[in-house]
Amino acid sequence: MNENVSGTVKFIKRTIAAGFAVALFSCAPAFASGGSSSQMTPFDSDEVGINLEIGDMASKSGDYDSAVSAYSRAYLLDNKNFAAVYNLAYTYQLKGALKEAVKYYKTAARIDGKRHEPYINMGAIFLIEANPAGASEMFKKALEIAPDNIDANFNLAIIDIDKGDHKSALASLAAASKSVKEKSGRDYFSIALKTALCRIALGEFDMAAKALDFQSDDAAEEIERYYLTGCMLHKSGKTDEAAKAFHKAVELAKVPEMEGLSKVLDEKIAQFKATKKTGRISN
């Protein structure tokens, strides 16, 4: 009898509550061991595997109710199967049934204490529920298992930024940057932008300028870069240059697909001019 059943283990990446919306981003599916089977209750490994596959197909098609049913059957057949209970939790999260999701993520964490993904996703849920203390606890537990995990470090930085603790945020961003191999891509630019924000808040303008010394093909990242550049220049006393940077950010945001970001940008620029505090406009 096969005592390990594999299933698609999904996890949510860069799961942060943004100032204007909460966006959950799914990584490419990874295949992982389903965990050891119960030694007390014999089960049909083929039937478990079939239900895991049914759940995967249903989830991919957006039929979350069928996915929940399939993963639940797999879990009932083998209550030590990590893939079954983890994917059950993940599907509940996609459905918006967050309490059920947390319940099964906790079970998944008990089944396999070496997996950090349940803690990452519980942290994401607590952020959605406006519970940063609970989220911070979950991300720290994830780091106990996977110290270099970029998601946990980045999300802790976001929590600290929102608290105004920019020094602690910089430490977490530095830890997150160790997992970035190339100076390109979403991970690199996200870390660079948040690093610049912290440097500006601390009055470290030379370091902020260094962090902002890039150009992205992504319009949203360029909008945020110009916004932060404007904040930096304004706080440096270069108000005319700051106005040009803010104007560039606003112009880039004047497209239909950037409507939501454009509104946030206008609010953050007005807030900055009134308080001189640099706000976060994205994840």
Instruction: Summarize pLDDT for 201-245 with one digit per residue, the tens.
Output: 999 999 999 999 999 999 999 999 999 999 999 999 999 999 999
SS3 202: coil
Contact, 157 vs 173, CB < 8 A? yes
Amino acid at 155: N
Please give the Cα distance from 159 to 181 (Å, whole number).
24
Nearest-angstrom CA–CA distance, 204 and 185: 25
d(CA 271, CA 153): 28
Q: Which residue carries 């303008």 as its tokens?
A: 205
Averaged confidence pLDDT in the chain: 86
Torsion of CA 203, 207, 208, 210, to 10 degrees: 160
Q: Which residue has the tokens 């706000």?
A: 279
* Rg, the chain, Cα only: 22
| H/E element, 25 | strand 22-26
CB-CB contact of 216 with 191 (8 Å): no
Half-sphere exposure (Cβ direction) of 84: Cα atoms closer than 13 Å: 26
Structure tokens at 97: 């049934």
pLDDT, residue 44, reads 64
> Is this prediction's pTM over 0.85?
no
Between CA 167 and CA 173 the distance in angstroms is 10
How far apart CA 161 and CA 211 sit, in angstroms, is 16
Q: Is the pLDDT of residue 10 over 60?
A: no
For the stretch 25-83, pLDDT in tens is 222 222 232 332 233 344 568 899 999 999 999 999 999 999 999 999 999 999 999 99
CA atoms in the 13 A half-sphere facing the CB of 157: 28
Question: For residue 33, what are the contacts with CB-CB under 8 A and spacing of at least 6?
Answer: 4, 6, 82, 83
Question: Which residue has 């991919």 as its token pair?
Answer: 60
Architecture label for domain 7-163: Alpha Horseshoe (1.25)
Bridge partners, residue 32, by sequence: 7
Q: What percent of the chain has pLDDT over 70?
A: 84
**What's the pLDDT band for 184 if we cut at 50, 70, 90?**
confident
Distance between start and end Cα atoms, the chain: 46
What three-state secondary structure class fits 1?
A: coil
